[in-house]
Structure 1
Amino acid sequence: MAARFDTIVLGGGIVGASIGVHLQQRGRAVALVDRRAPGSETSLGNAGLIQREGVYPYAFPRSVGELLFYARNRSLDARYHPRAMLTLAPFLIRYWWHSEPSRHAKIARAYATLIEHCVAEHRALAEAAGATELLRHDGWLKLFRTRAKQDQELRTADRCYQEFGVSFESLDQAGLHALEPNLSAGVIGALRYTTAKAVSDPQALVHAYARYFQALGGRILVGDATTLAPQWRVSTDEGLIEGQSVVVALGPWSDDVVRKFDYDVPFAVKRGYHMHYAVELGARLHHPVLDVENGFLIAPMARGIRLTTGVELGLRDTPKTPVQLDAVEPAARELFPLRARLDDEPWMGCRPCTPDMLPVIGPAPRHKGMWFAFGHAYHGLTLGPITGRLIGEMMTGSETICDPAPFSVERFRV
């Protein structure tokens, strides 16, 4: 006889684990199902940022000059696979359309209703899970090598402060090097986003949330999400399980499931890479730092200094092509005294993206008991706990912390 649950959550990343916790807290009996242990896929590899400042999601280049620049496919911050472009073209055209400034501003106003809660919801969940030692509270830094870029980013930061109350601090070269004395002297200044948080080990944070989920009575099972069948059944290593409802929170693999049920959600992935490095004796990095002009970020992690790359546009399942990592590594070594690589090979992950840059959060319109929670792009870590809370409130009929309408899958007329 199949084991029965109130809800089956498909996906053991930061989003799925957070949903599991919030549903258990609200009295639901939940099974969390994934093919691997929690936090082993997309949630493992990121910059570890909880981006309170990230109210404007990453837009597609709009000007002719920018498009021609990226078309050369030599940029450090964005590369593409030429053979994937025909397949990705419909998505990219819609992405370009939504990136028009007035549309982008409207998207930001909706996005901000989630982002504004990201730090508080992580703090609450980390405290409940006994994982506060994994959070860093000093914000993160955007570094500049030219005055023009610094002035441009300062205008953007000031706009976010005026519109959304996002705090920041502008640092000149002396102020920056007082905070980070081991950075290269070639950096002329920085912005420090003071209300953002950082995580020293993103996978460990997901593990902590998953253990808390189990302590609340939730079950973690290894299973195949693609076996999902109404109403609702999934195959696991412990046999068939059943649930009154199901939440699809599979990140870049979500479309494998939703398409089975004839939901044609516009969806693509942005691939990215990371590598860990040792450092020279005595050198320390205190904040995650983004080298804006060179398109990479380095962050202090439990394993070492993590170097993360920019965007690679390609198909989800094609082999790794870590050319960006090789291209930015010399600049990263010039910025900070990195030594040997610590990983056997570069890690690669895929960020699940929608063309309007907003996640999909809410019920499936044609299948009772099916819910969606995916498409968080680069803000999966940032938005995991607030997504969990919003889904928990919607599924239990509670008052919601924000208006869920902008995140409905029905905006795509599926």
Structure 2
Amino acid sequence: MTQLMFDSVVLGAGIVGVSTAIHLQQRGHAVALVDLRAPGQETSYGNGGLIQREGVYPYAFPRGLRALLRYAGNRANDVRYHLRDVGQFAPFLAAYWRYSHPARHAAIARNYATLITHCVDEHRALAQAAGARGLMRSTGWIKVFRTPAVQDAEAANAARWHAEFGVGFALLDAAQLRAAEPDLDTSLVGGLHYTDAESVSDPGALVTAYAALFVRLGGRIFLGDAKSLRESGGRWVVHTQDGDVDAKHAVIALGPWADDVTTRLGYRLPLAVKRGYHMHYAPRGGAQLHRPVLDAENGFLLAPMARGIRLTTGVELADRDAPKTPVQLAAVEPVARTLFPLGERLDAEPWMGRRPCTPDMMPVIGPAPRHKGLWFAFGHAHHGLTLGPVTGRLIAEMITGETPFVDPSPFRANRF
């Protein structure tokens, strides 16, 4: 069997893995990137395309009785669950609920914001080097409202985030919203424009462009199964179609599949998966959408993409590998058609992705507690695209012995 020698092997070719591979290669490491599929074909492919500079408070578990009762009925547009899987994810949800206490959530945000603050700059740097700036738009995104009460509550949050973390926003009344997005439903009462965020017209293409940059820098991409990872003589070996990749350092950046490897190595991390769906539509009658728009009361996003208008759903709590059940898409599509003039569906079937989550809403970034040369970079939940380049730089700095540009200690694996 051919033995292929590298300084580092990165397992997982989504946005986090590809970004990590680039940063290591730029720092002089010989890097192998290994995945079962080509870069950017799984979770990184089908998201809403947001680089969320405003996302300083990660998405918390609802704690109000009214919201809990609404979700318990399993009819909400933004969250659905598989009843047969409740026992599987109940311990995770209980911990998620505890971490979502307002005081704990605020403490988490102070740590989380240290990553989020850098997301736009780090993406711009990689996109510039990759020749992919044309895939990114500096137009922000808008949350739209159907009732004044919801708008007032969201505006208060935005004002607090601005005061605490410098989040940029503009509150739009109905007329200002129509000027920004003339083809939206005219009955909307207003919007909240997050001005510092960026959006991507094709997230899969962006990851592909970053992967091409990695190759131009001298990195190599292999098809292989990360579950074959094993320790051998103080190094890490993974089997690929081209032979065994042998490296001093191994980075697990497998997103929702991370625990397939970490569990085999003896780690019991509290990971769960939030599933989600998307469908593309042709705009009807020459209508245009200039930036992503989130319907705050109905929990779906419309985003202008290279393929058409992408409708992405909220959260589905289910076994990671259960068959698709796109009931949320069916529920919100009629509502989305009233928000914006959508035409025919452009995809043969709904796409489904999986968001890798931890109960404290923060990713796992840093060295494995019990294995030398093993590193973790997963658990980014709704902000995988947002934080991919930030995580890649942070891991690379730790591996190469640089002073990390962000304090990594809040994201260590042994915090649970």
- Aligned equivalent of 1:233, options 233, 237, 241: 237
Give the aligned partner of residue 184 of structure 2. Answer: 183
For 2:264 and 2:286, locate their aligned partners in 1 and report how far apart those are by CA, in whole Å: 54
- Aligned equivalent of 1:369, options 369, 373, 381: 373
SS of 2:94 mapped into structure 1: helix
For 1:158 and 1:265, locate their aligned partners in 2 and report how far apart those are by CA, in whole Å: 35
CA deviations 1:302-351 (Å, max 9, x no partner) are 00000000000111000000000000000100110101000000000100
What amino acid maps onto 1:332 in structure 2? A
- Structure 2: which 5+ residue stretches go unaligned? none
CA deviations 1:134-184 (Å, max 9, x no partner) are 000010000000000000000000000000000100000000000100001
In the alignment, structure 1 residue 302 sits paired with structure 2 residue 306: yes
For 2:133 and 2:285, locate their aligned partners in 1 and report how far apart those are by CA, in whole Å: 28
What amino acid maps onto 1:394 in structure 2? M
In the alignment, structure 1 residue 131 sits paired with structure 2 residue 135: no
Give the aligned partner of residue 82 of structure 1. Answer: 83
In the alignment, structure 1 residue 393 sits paired with structure 2 residue 397: yes
For 1:174 and 1:61, locate their aligned partners in 2 and report how far apart those are by CA, in whole Å: 32
Residues 110-259 of structure 1 correspond to what in structure 2 (within 5 A)? 110-230=111-231, 231-259=235-263
Instruction: Count residues in correspondence.
Output: 412
For 2:78 and 2:188, locate their aligned partners in 1 and report how far apart those are by CA, in whole Å: 18
What amino acid maps onto 2:126 in structure 1? L
SS of 2:10 mapped into structure 1: strand
For 2:406 and 2:3, locate their aligned partners in 1 and report how far apart those are by CA, in whole Å: 36
Residues 252-291 of structure 1 correspond to what in structure 2 (within 5 A)? 252-291=256-295
Give the aligned partner of residue 331 of structure 2. Answer: 327
For 2:214 and 2:285, locate their aligned partners in 1 and report how far apart those are by CA, in whole Å: 40
CA deviations 1:22-54 (Å, max 9, x no partner) are 000000000000000000000001000000000
SS of 1:232 mapped into structure 2: strand
Structure 1 position 365, deviation (Å): 1.1
Query: Could you tell me the TM-score, scaled by structure 1's length?
Result: 0.99
For 1:384 and 1:224, locate their aligned partners in 2 and report how far apart those are by CA, in whole Å: 21
Give the aligned partner of residue 47 of structure 1. Answer: 48
Structure 1 position 241, deviation (Å): 1.3
For 1:247 and 1:80, locate their aligned partners in 2 and report how far apart those are by CA, in whole Å: 32
For 2:296 and 2:64, locate their aligned partners in 1 and report how far apart those are by CA, in whole Å: 19
Structure 1 position 281, deviation (Å): 2.9
In the alignment, structure 1 residue 355 sits paired with structure 2 residue 359: yes
Give the aligned partner of residue 106 of structure 1. Answer: 107
What amino acid maps onto 2:106 in structure 1? A
Give the aligned partner of residue 69 of structure 1. Answer: 70
What amino acid maps onto 1:266 in structure 2? P
- Aligned equivalent of 2:321, options 317, 322, 325: 317
CA deviations 1:199-227 (Å, max 9, x no partner) are 00000000000000000000000000000
Structure 1 position 64, deviation (Å): 1.7
Moved over 3 A (4+): none
Give the aligned partner of residue 25 of structure 1. Answer: 26
Structure 1 position 197, deviation (Å): 0.2
